Chains A and B, each alone.
Chain A
């Protein structure tokens, strides 16, 4: 199957700093990428849908000024958590949709963010 990479895999930062997470589709072009957040023992929560060349679509309750998404190319989307606070500590997972042949979403390995 297709491969999606995510970097970094783990980050620990101080409260108030900004953290950038990269998501790359390695062997296919993804016009659409998705950003999820997952708290311990809970299901995936879709944060936003990232479309190449246009503004991301955020889910209700997700602050777009806090979680900046840039889908700069067909293989790269970035999520920047601005002025991170301890409550932002979570597992952030991106996925990329491969339209051929089955619109399957392939997931990156995830980024564990810990804000001290």
Chain B
């Protein structure tokens, strides 16, 4: 079966760095997405990785290792507005998105 695993909840301090991990087992791989979702809102795109390595975009970076079926989202200089759920999703061989359950990130002052 297809499976995406990510922690249910994480807590971090304002100004700090947090890493949200995602492991996947899917039928085929055509890329991995990270989305941010605030409560009551639709997800918004953060990053896309299809090749191994680190993609940096401002305060957010995303890493992919295809051989390990592993990705992480790194958030630096955390701000209170970063409190949200972070969803990991993999595009499988049929170009369907397989979603993780999301990681709720709580930022404390």
Query: What residues of chain A have their CB less than 8 Å away from a CB belonging to chain B?
Result: 1, 6, 34, 42-44, 46, 49, 91, 93, 97, 102-110, 112
Residues of A within 8 A of B96 (CB): 49
Which of A43, A44, A103, A107 interacts with B31 by CB under 8 Å? A103
How far, in Å, is B12 (CB) from chain A's closest CB? 20
A103 and B95: CB pair below 8 A?
yes
How far, in Å, is A106 (CB) from chain B's closest CB? 7
Query: What residues of chain B have their CB less than 8 Å away from a CB belonging to chain A?
Result: 30-31, 33, 35, 40-45, 48, 50, 87, 91, 95-97, 99-102
For chain B, what secondary structure do more than half of its interface residues adopt (helix, strand, loop), or is it mixed?
loop
Which of B42, B87, B100 interacts with A108 by CB under 8 Å? B42
The total of Cβ contacts below 8 Å across the A-B interface reads 43
How far, in Å, is B3 (CB) from chain A's closest CB? 13
B41 and A109: CB pair below 8 A?
yes
A42, A105, A108, A109: most-surrounded residue (chain B CB, <10 A): A105
Given known contacts A49-B96, A103-B95, A105-B97, A44 and B33 CB-to-CB distance under 8 angstroms: no
B44 and A107: CB pair below 8 A?
yes
How far, in Å, is B98 (CB) from chain A's closest CB? 9
How far, in Å, is B95 (CB) from chain A's closest CB? 6
A102 and B31: CB pair below 8 A?
yes
